[in-house]
Structures are given as C-alpha cells and as structure tokens.
Amino acid sequence: DAGVIQSPRHEVTEMGQEVTLRCKPISGHNSLFWYRQTMMRGLELLIYFNNNVPIDDSGMPEDRFSAKMPNASFSTLKIQPSEPRDSAVYFCASSFAHGAEIYEQFFGPGTRLTVL
C-alpha cells in the first residue's frame, strides 16, 4: 500500500494568493482528517470527514479555509486568501471507523506551506 499521499510537498506563495492542498487516503479507509502542525501549537485537527461527509469543521480557523471530499479517494484543503500566519505543515490522515470502534490514524508526509 502506498500510504496516504499528499501534494504538493512544499508550497511557497505570496500573501493573498489561493492555495490548494491535496490528499489521497489509504484505500479502504472511510475517515479522513486534516491537521496543521506548528512549533507553537503542535498538531491541531482542522476538519474530519467520515464517508466523504464533513462531520466536524470546528477546528477550521477562519472562513478563508475550506475543505472538500468529492469521493472516497480524494480530498482538498483550500486557503483563500492566504496569510503569512497560515505558514505551517499541513497533514492529511486516514483511518477506518466502524460504529464505535476506534482505529489508528495513518498520516501522510505533509505539505510545508510558506506564505510570504
């Protein structure tokens, strides 16, 4: 299995530009998570999808952030317009959830975003 795939791995953009991050979860997983990691705040959950449906987006910092999951094998996280404080590493993770059973999350390699 290729694991969780994210693209791009690095993104440098200027303030005000639109940024789109992409994720392909592990085949067979039905849960997808977007996280942001910074030195100051550590790993923070932004949004959680289950069976392609957004369940909890309370971690999305502002309306500038949006996420979609059009099918089971693809998700995007968009920032528009981007700001320097959005600079961070963004991770996508996937897992399998069945009823009340809890399963481990597998993380992708991350996208390092730098907003100038």
Partner 1 sequence: EDQVTQSPEALRLQEGESSSLNCSYTVSGLRGLFWYRQDPGKGPEFLFTLYSAGEEKEKERLKATLTKKESFLHITAPKPEDSATYLCAVQAYDYKLSFGAGTTVTVRA
What DSSP state is assigned to residue 98? B
Q: Which residue has the tokens 């993770």?
A: 93
Choose one: 22-30, 45-53, 69-77, 79-87; the region binding partner 1 (CB under 8 A). Answer: 45-53
5 interacts with partner 1 by CB under 8 A:
no
Torsion angle of C-alpha atoms 91, 94, 99, 104, degrees rounded to 10:
-80
Nearer to partner 1, 18 or 56 (CB): 56
Q: Is 108 in the site for partner 1 (CB under 8 A)?
A: yes
Residues that bind partner 1 (CB under 8 A): 4, 31, 42-43, 45, 48, 50, 55-56, 91, 93, 97, 102, 104-110
